[in-house]
Structure 1
Amino acid sequence: MKQYVWTRAATVCAAAALTVAGTTGAAIAAEAPSAPVVTSQEYPDDDNWHDGVGSYGTFLIDSASDDVVSYRYSWLGGSTRTLTASEPGAPVSLRWMPETEGVTYLQAQAVNAEGAISAGTTYYVRVQDGRAAVTHWDPDDQSGAVTGSGVTLGASGPSGTGVASAAAFDGTDEAYAALDLSVDSAQNFSVDAWVRPDALSADSTAVTQAGFALGTSTGPADAPVWSFTLPTADGGTARLTGGAPEQGEWAHLVGVYDAEQDTARLYVDGELAGTAESVTAAGGTGTLRIGADGNSGHWQGLLTDVNVWDRVFVPEEITATATRKAQRLGYWDLETAPDGKSPAYAGGEPLTLAGDASLHAATDDCAWNPDCTPVQYPLVGNADLLLDGDGDYATTPTALTPTDAGFSVAAHVRLDEAAATRDMTVLSQPGEHTDLVTLRYVAASQTWQAVVAHEDRADAPTTTVSAPLGSSSSAGEQFLAVVYDEKTDELRLYVDYNYAADTASVTGADTWTPTGDLQIGRTLTADGDTDHLAGEVDEIHSYAGVVSSTQLSSLRLGGTDS
């Protein structure tokens, strides 16, 4: 069922409140008032779709009876609330803003001075998607912007989004884009932008206008924090802050001002980072400036996809806009391997089997033969990759290449119990001097480990996460996944149902582009290969970016996430 967020409900003017707890015997005896009539200019009940998500509307509720003192109402059959009339027989008005598109309904009843309650009125509202942004700017659609010489086009936008390009701002006086903006920031408005600082400053402006600024400001210990700033009508300033900018990393910023609620909000990467209430914005109109505030707060880094709305940009929209989807690099189901190559699906090169590696596809007749000898079935489907631990492995040129959002890799694994007394590698992704990531079994502690190097050098610092060998089977049959999340600065290891089995901070570390083929069942070293896996591997998935928990659940159950 679609959900809606309630805003303030106001009567025409104040009066003594009447609380209606229910229908009493006296209420039944009294003559019931006429059922109310509901009207709305913004959201008429006329079988048509109307604006829209993030836009307020007024609903007038009136009864023909002159003794009505209050009205009971509810939305979608939810909790009942009461509005009090300014005087007997006067109508009341309700302000409401939908947060999702779809059909909903308002139910209302009139209550007279004796407590008698009228029959109910149901008023249907058909809400369409929110209005598009009044102003949009990106390097491919500059909307008539005047751009300074300190802006260079041609950079890439944040991966995993629909934003393909970005512009580089060099931090000088000429690093700006300016365009007309018709929105009055004393009224409801919202602004968002994708931003990537290439130099950290406590006072950098990404987007500004007379009535607001979105960028960075000074936080605790003089460190930069994301900020949304509003001059207020009393001559002061409302400044909302939250989140820590990181050099070279994209962030999605949203500032929202709800003039009906006198509330301002800052969202960072889809999450609410700061709220200020009882804010009356001074507002303003005029030029929208991107990358500079006309003073010293020039932006040094990338900017793209700037939007300004004359409405509230609601949380569901913000989350959808800020979400960066993982991009599949390769998927190998290991069901077949013609000519020793297991084909990739949905992208990627084949996985080439080496040594004595083979596909294991066991069958038995136990379904109808009570005297059968059961065999061990493949992990998923009809076959999986069988490795004997004595030089077997598989490789593919489709490297596990991270984006600026991170990377993810997953596989189903079953160890050979007889070989579980030594260390074994499930997969590894070599660079020129070290492995970007290694997923392995450590015999001494009977744990799974994911190790990520921070740089491509032999003595690079690493981050390790570990999880105990699961108990789903004595042979260690497990679903394993490694996720490197640049946004949250976390390295996560997932084992079967344990989400997350282990997590470690990688703050200050960045992923890097590896070289060489993805290795299945071994680790390459300067002296050759080592830690060969004895067991089975199946359903290998690799992604640039971060897979969601829903995707992980699907992969664990043998889904293809296609």
Structure 2
Amino acid sequence: MDGSSGFATTSGPVVDTRESYTVSAWVRPDTLGGNDRAVLAQDGGFGLSYETAQGTWTLRPALPVGTDHRTVVAEQPATPKVWTHLTAVYDAPADEARLYVNGRLQATGPTTGTGAADGPLQFGRALSDGSPTEYTDYFDGSIDEVAVWQRALTDTEIAGEARMTLDGARTAVELVADWSAEGATGATLTDTSSGYDARLTLSGGATLDGETLVLDGVDGTATADGPLVDGTGSFTVNTEVTLEGAAVSTWDVGRVGQVVSQRAADGSTWGLWYEATGMETVLDPDTFEEKLIPVGLWRFGRMNADGTYVAVASEEAARTDEPVRLTGVYDAQEGTIELYIGEVRNGAALSVANAPGRGDFTVGAARDGDTLVHHLPARIADIRVWAGAMASSQQLSEVIGD
């Protein structure tokens, strides 16, 4: 929808607003701010919208004529250019309205009875206050997977809708970025397959050699305008990385090299990274002499602004000088993260608090304020990001293919 005149509408009312109901939708606003943006609204009844005064998603339930609006306001700010799942519930027996974002309850409000709304359901616009014919608040962006029930869904059912489970081993996911370095040269790596046209711009000692994105570990990075995903929603990130053993062999214990990262609103950074944990003496099979090799672990999780982190670690030491397939999965409905090496999940799922993602997506480094830190010496063949949490190693195998 274009934010000025585009909309869709049903031929008549979809729910009886005097009884319990639930409406849900996936939304991806192109812009926010400046104007209110209606997602779903039944003429004369409820409205599910973005409101500029609140800076986030809101629900106005249908109320009897002459009753002042009671607005239910989400706790977290709305994020443009990412997919977010919204659910609005009116619970008639409880006289309560509830608003959910990404399958998690954000706010509730009393309704003290509702009025009848006999108009059609509007997609991407709403009636102006006090007008039976004038529409406003046109949505700028995409609306998908709209669903309506004439009952109040439970918290478990709403979490399931946000997860979009297909079966026990698969969930619906949306590819939002796909970069392959094969055949690529120059200073920009373009996403040509997801349809979202995200572009990685190289800087410092980062180059494309026609096969991989080469990062020098000093100042080489690649950055895409972000965020790519809503940090409070489920997502999956996948990459093939070859860590440069000679470079990390001199690292002190505890030093970190970031593979991919997305800055969150609270100063933390979501991402995959390598952490040096020590050195190990091994026998060189060619010379039959002992030699020291670096030892470290792959991690997926949140790096906090103070340097602490919550992350899942690989079960074995990270291999160097050979390609490794890494996948990080965040399940927003469960509040857990998982790390896969190849198609094998490493460790148990770890609980972690969510954080709205507002920053750029960075490869080969992470941001500390305006400064890039944790540069990684490595070669990266490809990077893919999905909205939605892949459910199993079986799904990873089917979707990623290697």
Q: Greater strand share, 1 or 2?
A: 2
Q: Is the 8 A contact 1:404 1:545 kept in 2?
A: no
TM-superposed deviation, 1:388:
1.9
Task: Give the Cα–Cα distance (whole angstroms) in 1 for the partners of residues 231 and 301 of structure 2.
Answer: 18
Aligned match of 1:326: 173
Contact 2:165 2:172 in 1 (8 A): no
Cα displacement (A) at 1:349: 2.3
Describe the shift of the 1:416–1:172 C-alpha distance in structure 2 as closer, same or farther (beyond 3 A): same
Letter aligned with residue 381 of structure 2: D
Quick one: which of 394, 397, 401 aligns to 1:553?
397
Letter in 1 for 2:334: T
Tell me which structure has the larger Cα radius of gyration.
1
Aligned-pair distance for 1:557? Answer: 3.6
Check conservation: 1:336, 1:343, Cα contact below 8 A.
no
Against the structure 1 CA distance between its residues 430 and 536, is the aligned structure 2 distance closer, same or farther, given a 3 Å change threshold? same
Partner of residue 447, structure 1: 297
Summarize the alignment of residues 254-269 of structure 1 with structure 2, pairs less than 5 Å apart. Answer: none
Q: Give the Å deviation of 1:352.
A: 1.8
Rounded to whole Å, the distance in 1 between the matches of 2:225 and 2:349 is 29
Task: Confirm or deny: 8 A CA contact 2:258 2:271 kept in the other structure.
Answer: yes
1:212-255 per-position Cα deviation (integer Å, ceiling 9, x unaligned): x9x99xxxxxxxxxxxxxxxxxxxxxxxxxxxx99645279xxx
Structure 1 equivalent of residue 77 of structure 2? none
Q: 1:428 to 1:328 in 2, by over 3 A?
A: same
- The aligned amino acid for 1:533 is L
The separation in 2 between residues aligned to 1:526 and 1:359, in whole angstroms, is 27
> What does residue 216 of structure 2 align with?
388
Please point out which of 347, 356, 369 is paired with 2:205. 356
Cα distance in structure 2, aligned partners of 1:406 and 1:540: 17
After TM superposition, give the deviation of residue 156 of structure 1 in Å: 6.5
Q: Is the 8 A contact 1:436 1:514 kept in 2?
A: no
TM-score of the two chains, using structure 2 as the length reference: 0.55
1:3-402 to structure 2, matched below 5 A, reads 143=13, 145-147=15-17, 157-158=25-26, 165=40, 167-168=47-48, 174=64, 196=87, 205=91, 248-250=101-103, 304-306=147-149, 320=166, 325-345=172-192, 346=194, 347-361=196-210, 383-402=211-230
- The Cα shift of 1:389 comes to 1.3
Distance 1:141 1:453 in 2: 50
What percent identity do the matched residue pairs reach?
A: 22
CA distance in 2, matches of 1:344, 1:173: 47
Instruction: Map 1:537-552; keep pairs closer than 5 Å.
Output: 537-549=380-392, 550-552=394-396
Q: Residue 491 of structure 1 corresponds to which residue in structure 2?
A: 337
Is contact 1:197-1:249 (8 Å) kept? no
Indicate the SS of the match to 1:402. coil
Count of residue correspondences:
278
Partner of 1:118: none
Q: CA deviation at 1:440?
A: 0.8
| Equivalent in 388, 398, 412 of residue 240 of structure 2 | 412
Shift of the 512–319 alpha-carbon distance from structure 1 to 2, 3 Å rule, reads closer
For the structure 1 residues 144 and 519, does the alpha-carbon distance in structure 2 shift closer, same or farther, using more than 3 Å as the test? closer
Q: Give the one of 507, 514, 523 matched to 2:358.
A: 514
Contact 1:435 1:453 in 2 (8 A): yes
Measure the CA separation in 1 of the matches of 2:16 and 2:307: 45
Q: Deviations over 1:126-166 (max 9, x none)?
A: xxxxxxxxxxxxx9576464436x99x9x971469xxx747
Determine the C-alpha separation between the residues in 2 that align with 1:352 and 1:554. 30
Name the SS for the 1:401 alignment partner: coil
Contact 2:201 2:224 (8 Å CA) reproduced: yes
TM-superposed deviation, 1:439 = 1.4
For residue 250 of structure 1, what is the amino acid of its counterpart? G
TM-score for both structures, normalised by structure 1 = 0.41
1:443 is paired with a residue whose SS is strand
Q: Corresponding residue for 1:259?
A: none
Describe the SS at the equivalent of 1:434: coil
Residues 451, 319 of structure 1: alpha-carbon distance in 2 compared, 3 angstrom cutoff: closer
| Distance apart, 1:441 and its partner CA | 0.5
In the alignment, is the contact (CA less than 8 A) between 1:479 and 1:496 conserved in 2?
yes
Q: Check 1:437–1:140 CA distance in 2 against 1; reply closer, same or farther (3 A cut).
A: farther
1:514 maps to amino acid: R
Does the alignment pair 1:465 with 2:312?
Answer: yes
Distance 1:459 1:172 in 2: 45
Aligned residues of 2:187 and 2:208 also touching (Cα < 8 A): no
Deviation at 1:356, TM superposition (A): 2.9
- Code of the aligned partner of 1:393: T
Corresponding residue for residue 154 of structure 2: none
Name the CA shift for 1:463/1:536 in 2 (closer, same or farther; >3 Å): same
Task: Work out the CA distance in 1 between the residues paired with 2:10 and 2:317.
Answer: 50
Q: Following the alignment from structure 2 to structure 1, what is the Cα–Cα distance between the partners of residues 86 and 270?
A: 28
Gapped runs of 5+ residues in structure 1? 1-138, 176-193, 199-203, 217-244, 253-290, 296-302, 309-317, 362-382
* Change over 3 Å in CA distance of 1:327–1:494 after alignment to 2: same
Q: Is the CA contact 2:242–2:320 (under 8 Å) kept in the aligned structure 1?
A: no
AA of the residue aligned to 2:376: L
* Partners of 1:141 and 1:401 in 2: CA distance: 34
Task: State the structure with bigger RCO (CA 8 A, min sep 6), 1 or 2.
Answer: 2
C-alpha deviation, 1:415, in angstroms: 0.6
Kept in 1: contact 2:24–2:148 (CA 8 A): no
Amino acid at match of 2:234: G
Check 1:474–1:520 CA distance in 2 against 1; reply closer, same or farther (3 A cut). closer
1:520 partner letter: V
Q: Which residue pairs with 2:375 in the alignment?
A: 532
